[in-house]
Amino acid sequence: MAERPESELAAMAPEIDPARLLRWLASQRWFGAKARVPSGAELIERAQIAPGVELAFAQVQFATGAHELYQLVLAPGSDGAGFDVLPAPAPATALLAAIAGSRDLEGRHGRFSFRLVGADGVPAGLEPGAEVRMMGAEQSNSSVVFGERIALKLFRRLEPGINPDLEMHRFLTAHDYPNIAPLHGWYEYEGEALAATLGLAQRFVAGGADGFELALEQVQQDPELLLERIAALGAVTARLHSVLASDPNDPAFSPQDPSTEFLSIMRATLDDQLERIFGELPDHPGLAPLAGLEQQVRECITLPSQGPIGGKSIRIHGDYHLGQTLYTDAGWTLLDFEGEPARPLNARRQKRSPLRDVASMLRSFAYAGWVLRLRRGVEPPADFEQRARSAFLEAYLDDVERALLPASQAHVSSLIAAFELEKLLYELRYELENRPAWLPIPVAGILRLLESG
């Protein structure tokens, strides 16, 4: 690797006190180890991307010997009040300009590569005077919007391998799937001990309404229009899965037959979860309707006991709900293809049944109705959830490539119910630990499964 010029090294930000760095990291929303006590932190990689602006990796150590890596954007004079200067226009613009120039930069231990999709030139958002602003208050990443035309997302916690958000957007953009924000570019790192995706830039979807907030508003104001839009979302989802399964020559995306052990593993997993959850249910009034129902819940899942169920395993969204969508005059845009953040990156890239996404979205309709009731004191139409489910499912099943699903409609329904139960058991544990007032949501979902089974 080429030696770094002395003048370039001198322009970099000075070394940062490890104790102050650790305190600052622990205070950030995107720091992912708040339940553990770190033992130290240090900067292990740095590269200058513009005069006075650096990319850096902070390694956080724990007493167990484990460690985590986080991406920072630094400038000279950084102090305890703010090691990371990403919100400032100059550092953010330096990142987008590096993508526009498809640059390669040498760090201390590896190479930073920036890549532009499409034509060269000054990208939208870098025009003189374009506004640069942070987007929202994200939990695990940081996003910057340039001129309301380009959004740049930085992955804060770094894991080895390609991030599925980049991989999926790159595939869907290349295959002309219309219901995403097209990929503009990305940047990544390859070094002695790490190869990872660092960030991606996409077209910014201006004027979009968050799908979950849209549902809360329209279920009160115009439920029939909402049901039409939910049906449209079902068709958009069907086309997503069909496109994701459309390239047999791409090993990362080619459809596969489910493993012969798929059904037995799923049944065993659900049995284990049911036994643990029902065995640990505390004496809480919100859980009273579930008392003594463990065996009935187990029996409501009617998966075949053996043999192939049909359908295909494909790449899926993996964390699919109304909050991962935007609605504009042009229709639905699907967002955030990272998968469940708590799962390891390699697990998020696994091929799975597309009906997992379907079941996850069906649970989102239940949450919309209940959140309206619990947060706003407004009662949704009594049949809203069932009609939303029906509208979404009917449109999805009409449009999806049928080879992706089991041939038997009974098996399709059984798989959706099994995936819903899996999701419901997760919700039950989550709400019990974090939002006990919301326990009626998963409880009602389990009782609905029993009634429909």
* 129 shares its domain with 274: no
Q: Residue written as tokens 């570019």?
A: 185
* 198 shares its domain with 251: no
Instruction: State mean pLDDT over 86-108.
Output: 90
Domain boundary among 184, 203, 222: 203
Structural domain includes residue 22:
no
Instruction: State mean pLDDT over 370-379.
Output: 91
pLDDT confidence tier of residue 77, bands split at 50, 70 and 90:
low
Degrees, nearest 5: CA angle 238-240-242: 70
Structural domain includes residue 90:
yes
Return the pLDDT at 52.
85
Helix axes 384-399, 355-376, angle to 10 degrees: 160
Q: Could you read off the pLDDT of 216-232 as tens digits, one per residue?
A: 999 999 999 999 999 99
Q: Could you read off the pLDDT of 377-418 as tens digits, one per residue?
A: 899 998 999 999 999 999 999 999 999 999 899 999 999 999
Higher pLDDT, 376 or 190: 190
Return the pLDDT at 138.
63
* 191 shares its domain with 324: no
Q: Could you read off the pLDDT of 268-286 as tens digits, one per residue?
A: 999 999 999 998 888 899 9
Q: How far apart are CA 429 and CA 407, in angstroms?
A: 33
Return the pLDDT at 389.
98
For 60, the domain range is 39-203
* 399 shares its domain with 439: yes
pLDDT confidence tier of residue 75, bands split at 50, 70 and 90:
confident
* 150 shares its domain with 220: no
* 230 shares its domain with 375: yes
- Portion of the chain with pLDDT greater than 90, in percent: 69
* 113 shares its domain with 228: no
Q: How far apart are CA 202 and CA 82, in angstroms?
A: 27
pLDDT confidence tier of residue 5, bands split at 50, 70 and 90:
very low
- Residue 74 · residue 94 · CB < 8 Å: no
Structural domain includes residue 396:
yes
Return the pLDDT at 224.
96
Structural domain includes residue 1:
no
Q: Residue written as tokens 């409880």?
A: 443
* 290 shares its domain with 419: yes
Domain boundary among 142, 173, 203: 203
Q: How far apart are CA 179 and CA 211, in angstroms?
A: 14
Structural domain includes residue 249:
yes
Structural domain includes residue 25:
no
- Residue 45: phi, psi to the nearest 5? -155, 140
Return the pLDDT at 2.
39
Q: What is the pTM of this model?
A: 0.91
Structural domain includes residue 354:
yes
pLDDT confidence tier of residue 365, bands split at 50, 70 and 90:
very high
* Number of domain units in the chain: 2
* 304 shares its domain with 381: yes
CATH classification of the domain holding 383: 3.90.1200.10
Residue 307 predicted with pLDDT over 90: no
* 427 shares its domain with 410: yes
The encoded tokens of residue 415 equal 């798989």
Instruction: State mean pLDDT over 324-341.
Output: 95
Domain boundary among 159, 184, 203: 203
